[in-house]
Amino acid sequence: MSMQKRMIVAVSVATVWTKPESPRPLDELALRHPVEIREWLKRMTIDDKLDLWEGNRIQTQILYGTNVLVVEELDDWLKVLIPQQGTRKEALGYPGWVPRCQLVTEPEAPAGSKRAEVRTAQAWLYRNPSERSIELSYLTSLPVLDETEEWVKVKMPEGAGYLKANEVRLIDGSLIPESGEGHIGRGIVEQGRRFLDLPYLWGGLSSFGYDCSGFAYSMHRYFGISIPRDASDQAKQGTLITKEQLEPGDLLFFAYEEGKGAIHHVGIYAGDNRMIHSPESIKSIEIVDLSSYKLAKEHCVSRRYWS
């Protein structure tokens, strides 16, 4: 890993593959620039989606405008580390392979540190106020160049573009705007509710599809809380919470062998003995009653990151 080159994601969502050989022919839509993420997801059958996990094909995803470190090159592929996504796999960030065409050299950052972050489920990025360019995911964040009442001009990986002012929130430096609620944990649950019925996607980390830990990671990130990318790592950090101490926004972890084996799932406690989570490839984000939930006996630990 002697080479380290900073680059930036130039497609709406870049899928991070385990190896350059991991994609199947049907994944070609996810390898392009521009990527066709909605069509790719639409064309996959349940078996195709299950194979993303069973075939160990996908590691994670990265949103448009995210900085990565390139540590290896192989033909049309680049191996990257994602500093925003903490993992025990690699100290510098989550590792995996991305098509070369989906990354560009990091542009010079504009003066100032204000950023526009998408706060709606999706938002269109415009080349100019009358020409749509790219459909962006929730939490996509881009540097601000200028502001009007209706539009926010942003620095794109390739040039400049416009976002509708009512679809983004402005973040200055590392400050995250207040949730408007006294209880951040409840705010995490309320953000999660916005994505009820969104189909699960193994490795998913965008509002086009989340996996269980990607859902927990993203709902925390809305409040400026950085947690590890994977459930097995999330379960080892944060504050340990007993069953009696549970509050909305706490994370519930589930392990094989009735809680004694490897951790394989995470959900967000929603209060009143309920949990909101992104369950599995055959389902969508849902709220379940923990007393009747099929994995109830596998609950092994709970953690809090929001206070």
**DSSP secondary structure string for all residues of 197-235:** TPBP-TT-EETTEE-HHHHHHHHHHTTT----SSHHHHT
Same domain, 137 and 90: no
Same domain, 213 and 299: yes
Catalytic-labelled residue, pool 33, 101, 212, 299: 212
> How confident is the model over 52-82, as pLDDT tens digits?
999 999 999 999 999 999 999 999 999 999 9
> How confident is the model over 156-179, as pLDDT tens digits?
999 999 999 999 999 987 656 555
Residues contacting residue 237 through CB under 8 Å, at least 6 positions apart: 227, 228, 303, 305
Overall domain count for the chain? 3
Residue at 287 is within a domain = yes
**pLDDT the model gives residue 290:** 96
**pLDDT the model gives residue 112:** 74
Residue type, 164: K
pTM, 2 dp: 0.96
Same domain, 236 and 138: no
Residue at 179 is within a domain = no
Q: Distance (Å, rounded) from C-alpha 171 to C-alpha 106?
A: 20
Catalytic-labelled residue, pool 183, 264, 277, 299: 277
Query: Long-range CB contacts (< 8 A, 24+ apart) of 242-249?
Result: 242/302, 243/302, 246/302, 247/183, 247/185, 247/271, 247/304, 248/183, 248/185, 248/186, 248/188, 248/189, 249/183, 249/184, 249/185, 249/186, 249/187, 249/188, 249/189, 249/304, 249/306
Residue at 24 is within a domain = yes
Same domain, 168 and 195: no
Active site residue 212: yes
- Give the CA count within 13 Å in the CB-facing half-sphere of 210: 33
Q: The domain spanning residue 226 has which CATH number?
A: 3.90.1720.10
**Contact call for residues 38 and 105 (beta carbons, < 8 A):** no
For 117-141, what is the mean pLDDT? 96
Same domain, 190 and 297: yes
- Mean pLDDT score of the chain, rounded to an integer? 95
User: Band of the pLDDT at 307, cuts 50, 70, 90?
Assistant: confident
> Which tokens go with 171?
């973040």
Q: The domain spanning residue 89 has which CATH number?
A: 2.30.30.40
**pLDDT the model gives residue 21:** 98
Residue 189's closest CA among 142, 246, 233, 129?
A: 246
**Structural domain that includes position 14:** 5-105
Q: Distance (Å, rounded) from C-alpha 228 to C-alpha 86?
A: 5
Same domain, 164 and 248: no
User: Band of the pLDDT at 101, cuts 50, 70, 90?
Assistant: very high
Partners of residue 136 on adjacent β-strands: 123
Same domain, 145 and 163: yes
User: Band of the pLDDT at 1, cuts 50, 70, 90?
Assistant: very low
Q: Which secondary-structure segment (H or E) carries 84?
A: none
Catalytic-labelled residue, pool 220, 265, 299, 300: 265
**pLDDT the model gives residue 176:** 63
Boundary residue ending a domain (52, 82, 105):
105
Same domain, 290 and 203: yes
**Contact call for residues 267 and 251 (beta carbons, < 8 A):** yes
Same domain, 299 and 219: yes
